[in-house]
Amino acid sequence: MPSYVITGAARGIGFEFVRQLSVQPDNVVFGLVRNKSTATKLLELADGSSNVHVLQADIADAQALKEAATEVAKITDGTLDCLINNAAFLEMERRHLTLDAYPEEFLAKDLRDSFEVNVIGVIQTVNAFLPLIRKGTMKKVLALSSAQGDLDAALNVGIAIAGPYSVSKAALNMVVVKYAVRFRDEGIVFLSISPGLVNTQQGPPPPAVQAEMVALKDRLEKFYPDWNGKPLEPEESVRMQLEVLEKATIEESGAFVSQHGNKYWM
């Protein structure tokens, strides 16, 4: 019975991971959310499925993560096959700003918040679930990164905005490398993956953000002339990511790839 834990499972890409994985009746799927009371869609899915469990933990809270791991262990006999670190912090109001244009009162805050969730939160999650992963069969750990954390893409496309988020995702890629090196001998595969540009927006962004997003889209279209200019739906992105995850071997552990399994980010 392959088992999966997915963080940030209340909505967006995380919810879609739970949905697709739970279609296989043999899988046991744990959706981890920071607030059960607002995770309506996931609770409905769990109500209608025998193989979906909902757990609550803020990934910035190491103790809550340990308790979640204990809950999983009770159901899986102490094992876990695959951990999908999907939860992330993205500041929505200031993501169009360049680092030099940041209001001073928010610069350190947004950097800290991004680091707390996207870097420290992932490390805490991995550490909490590692004892279970070590006893699992599949032994895979995925971290949802972003092309914005790819140094070459940022330089070559010309992306100066979303500094705190991008810096945290670049750091996350290094976190994955550190774990990959540490656990290569034990056969645990760690992978950073960018899901592509995926339509998970909950509402229209503020006008200033919208204008910068249009400018970014223009740059992306120039850099990737064969891109159709449309974001992926979560369904397609997750389907592609699961194919990459399934194929990933220990030789690739530590890599940072796109939903295509390579460095093509769109």
Ligand X SMILES: NC(=O)c1ccc[n+]([C@@H]2O[C@H](COP(=O)([O-])OP(=O)(O)OC[C@H]3O[C@@H](n4cnc5c(N)ncnc54)[C@H](OP(=O)(O)O)[C@@H]3O)[C@@H](O)[C@H]2O)c1
- CB neighbourhood size of 138 (10 A): 18
DSSP 3-state of 142: strand
Among 3, 46, 121, 157, binds ligand X (CB under 6 A): 121
Residues of span 44-63 touching ligand X by CB under 6 A:
58-60
14 binding ligand X? (CB under 6 A): yes
Catalytic option among 165, 178, 230, 264: 165
34 binding ligand X? (CB under 6 A): yes
Contact 83, 57 (CB under 8 A): no
The verdict on whether 222 is a catalytic residue reads no
10 binding ligand X? (CB under 6 A): yes
Size, binding site for ligand X by CB under 6 A = 26
Among 1, 11, 107, 252, binds ligand X (CB under 6 A): 11
Distance in angstroms (rounded) separating the CA atoms of residues 144 and 5: 13
163 binding ligand X? (CB under 6 A): no
The verdict on whether 165 is a catalytic residue reads yes
- What minimum distance in Å lies between the beta carbon of 12 and ligand X? 2
Best CA proximity match to 52, nearest among 43, 63, 40: 43
Using CB atoms within 10 A of its CB, is residue 205 exposed (0-12), middle (13-18) or buried (19+)? middle
Using CB atoms within 10 A of its CB, is residue 49 exposed (0-12), middle (13-18) or buried (19+)? middle
113 binding ligand X? (CB under 6 A): no
- Give the residue numbers annotated as catalytic, written as ranges: 165, 169
